[in-house]
Amino acid sequence: MADNPYLAHLPPSQRGAVHSSSSSSSEKEPLFGFLPRKVKGEQVRKALDHQLNPFTKQPHSAQYRKILETRRALPVFSQMDDFLELFSKNQIIVMVGETGSGKTTQIPQFVTYSDLPHTKGKLVACTQPRRVAAMSVAQRVADEMDVQLGKQVGYSIRFEDMTESGTTFLKYMTDGMLLREAMSDTELSRYSTIILDEAHERTLATDILMGLLKTLAKRRKDLKIIVMSATLDAVKFQSYFSLHDSAAGEEPSPAPLFKVPGRTHPVEVFYTQEPEPDYVEAAIRTVLMIHRAEDPGDILVFLTGEEEIEDACRKIKIEADDLLNADPSSVGPLICVPLYSSLPPQQQQRIFDAAPKPSQAGYPPGRKVVVSTNIAETSLTIDGIVYVVDPGFSKQKVYNPRIRVESLLVSPISKASAQQRAGRAGRTRPGKCFRLYTEKDFISELEEQTHPEILRSNLANAVLELAKLGIKDLVRFDYLDAPAPETLMRALELLNYLAALNDEGELTALGGVMAEFPLDPQLAKMLIVSPEFKVSNEILTITAMLSIPNVWLRPPNQRAAADQAKAMLTVPEGDHLTLLNVFNNYSQSTYKDERNWAWNNFLSARALAQAENVRAQLLRTMEKYDVDVISLEDERKRNIGIRQALTCGFFMQVAHKEGEKGSYLTVKDNQVVALHPSCGLDTQPEWVLFNEFVLTKRPYIRTVTEVKPEWLLEYAPVYFDLASFPDGETKRVLQRVANRRRGTSNGGEEPRPKKKLKK
DNA sequence: GAGCACTGC
């Protein structure tokens, strides 16, 4: 038995157990003869058919055998031998599997059988861009492997670690979670194989992980990596992960590709003859055309946002009712369901409702129309969709590093996105996709791929993470797509002003702690310094409230009541203090009926519950890094302390009032901005600090608090170094303040021009 | 006198 290689890889404490069970015959040991990473398909199939579960040593259940039959029908299942051979021979594999191939559930299991992570005390990880996916896939795989979720198979997402240390060997997790783990263990030493799933989505976290894993693979020859993606991107991933031994003078050879066909139904694609001037109107017209003329089957329409969707739903409903009333014997009833993320979960569930029944026996069946944002393109799948209407637009985030602003723009989608949308029509049977643009435009105008997030975002957070990951030269990091140098410079500049990076671009001790918080750098900085102002308890709450979506509800038919409720909670010194007040009132109300309190005050109970969760998580991190949680008794002093702490994080987001008309200029950038109408300040203070710059109909600053110019000079002396300050009214005012602080009239500077402020 | 594509830590 000693030469049983399976035993050789078991820790000594476990050898006895296997020994006794396998001593009589190999029949009792499902993994008998398995050599890690040399396992063949035939062996795995035998183990799958074995009466004992190799991981629990329990007999397989009836449910297991039933599921196994459905697994055998998956396209990826029939290619198990090829996969295992490729896995045995290579460190990095790129895998392409179209929808319905079964890759997300099966590949990690194949890897587990080959890798035998449990024999080495390691794990196989499979990353997902979204939490729900990580949770639901883990549950499915636990069922397939006939184990309890959270034991051998688990998942790890923010706020929930469903794994058991020492037991779990296959873990589904969000990409962000693996990135966090990498910050404390840059070797990712717990893992034997890492599978990046949905890599084609190119989330910021996946992109950074790819860069990290590419270099890590050179140091850790025992680590295997599988990058799983949709078809179009495979070549790019293959060449990025090409193996080359430059010392041997070899030509780089692309990483091997493993390809599995999908299992979907054909979708017929139609284009318009001419471009459509109004895509919303065209989409409505197309829906009604399908409803009148096409066979039964539900319709999915892609639009760009909440307002557009609600509007389209209303119009479709009116028109469809007219059709039904005019001729109930030839047109069926229609229901129209909106879908977007800010919709309460209960209403989101309506997309799974069945289509309405015929209005009378023998009359045409009803039809369901789902009008959705991009959420139905990736995050949610609706079975029974036969028709897709694709106007070709979506709202996309763009980042302008020059003015440091992220904004949302309605933009044409990519070919990849259009293909994904069309595919939504063929999940249950052959379908049709109506593209509301010409074939010529599809071919020549649409980009191949949507720009990856790393090219469209503010990278302050990512750069801090990379620094924490030990990446020395952030500009020359091996990105799959390198961000614009200006975006990186902006991030480095911000982190340097926040003292997270020193002048050499190295991570400071403060920066190291900042990176530990799942927050934007400004928020992390403010939270960490807040004990100096004895208000960290309050800043903790404000930070949590700023990390969640908008809490204020404003139903269209109850605007006045909502505004009145908001006024009751408003603190005139600033919106940040208002947020604090809201949360405190909410927590005090929890012993009663919190949902009711939130509801009565036109606040989102869901968002407030989220804030509570975030607050608890941040509190744990504070405790871990000895950031004291303290508070001031005196309300006046406390509010000043809070505003001072805010200044320490957000001194780069300050605006100065120009004239009396209520127009503000952002400091240094000199952008003309206005206070957002949601702002609760009762006056227009000379200096304000803002959480957000939003570019909608006009440039607005949102979530605003009054600050004192003395604080800017005192808490951010480097940023407010007047010698390097752009000339203008703001500088002159600051200069006066500086002079006053020094107790001199003009502190040795040139005499300032005696210019009177007009108006 | 406005808005909130979608994720993630």
Torsion-angle region of A214 (φ positive above 0: left; ψ -120 to 50: alpha; else: beta) = alpha
For A192-250, how does the pLDDT look when each residue is reduced to its tens digit (9 = 90+)?
Answer: 999 999 999 999 999 999 999 999 999 999 999 999 987 778 899 999 999 765 556 66
Nucleotide nearest to A307 (CA to C1'): B3
Largest CA distance in chain A: 101
- A696 is near strand B: CB distance < 7 Å: yes
Question: pTM of the prediction?
Answer: 0.89
Nucleotide nearest to A130 (CA to C1'): B7
Query: A226 phi and psi, to 5 degrees?
Result: -125, 125
Highest mean pLDDT among A98-107, A573-582, A664-673: A573-582
Query: A450 phi and psi, to 5 degrees?
Result: -70, 140
Nucleotide nearest to A562 (CA to C1'): B2
Nucleotide nearest to A305 (CA to C1'): B5
Res A1 pLDDT > 50: no
Q: How far is the CA of A159 from the C1' of B6 (A)?
A: 20
Res A15 pLDDT > 50: no
Q: Are strands A160-162 and A367-372 parallel, antiparallel or unpaired?
A: unpaired
The mean pLDDT value of chain A amounts to 89
- A552 is near strand B: CB distance < 7 Å: yes
What is the per-residue pLDDT for A263? 82
For A281-308, how does the pLDDT look when each residue is reduced to its tens digit (9 = 90+)?
Answer: 999 999 999 999 999 999 999 999 988 9
Which residues 388-407 of chain A have a CB under 7 Å from nucleic chain B? Answer: 394-397
Q: Measure the CA–CA gap between A649 and A689, rounded to whole angstroms.
A: 10
Residue at minimum CA to C1' distance from nucleotide B8: A176
Q: Measure the CA–CA gap between A509 and A385, rounded to whole angstroms.
A: 54
Nucleotide nearest to A406 (CA to C1'): B5
Residue at minimum CA to C1' distance from nucleotide B7: A130
Q: How far is the CA of A193 from the C1' of B7 (A)?
A: 25
Which residues 480-539 of chain A have a CB under 7 Å from nucleic chain B? Answer: 518-519
Residue at minimum CA to C1' distance from nucleotide B9: A518
Work out the percent of chain A whose per-residue pLDDT is above 90. Answer: 70
Q: How far is the CA of A414 from the C1' of B6 (A)?
A: 16
- A653 is near strand B: CB distance < 7 Å: no
Query: Under a CB-based contact definition with an 8 Å cutoff, are residues A155 and A171 in contact?
Result: yes
**Averaged pLDDT, A542-547:** 95
Q: Measure the CA–CA gap between A144 and A146, rounded to whole angstroms.
A: 5
Q: Which residues on adjacent β-strands are paired with residue A336?
A: A369
- Fill in the amino acid letter for A494: L
Taking 3-state DSSP, the helix, strand and coil percentages for chain A, each rounded to the nearest 5, stand at: 45, 15, 40
Which residues 659-688 of chain A have a CB under 7 Å from nucleic chain B? Answer: 676-678
Strand B: list positions under 7 Å from protein Cβ: 1-9
Assign A398 to helix, strand or coil: strand
Task: Write down the H helix ranges in A335-479.
Answer: 345-348, 375-378, 415-423, 439-444, 460-468
For A481-513, how does the pLDDT look when each residue is reduced to its tens digit (9 = 90+)?
Answer: 999 999 999 999 999 999 999 999 999 999 999
Nucleotide nearest to A518 (CA to C1'): B9
DSSP state of A108: H
- A131 is near strand B: CB distance < 7 Å: yes
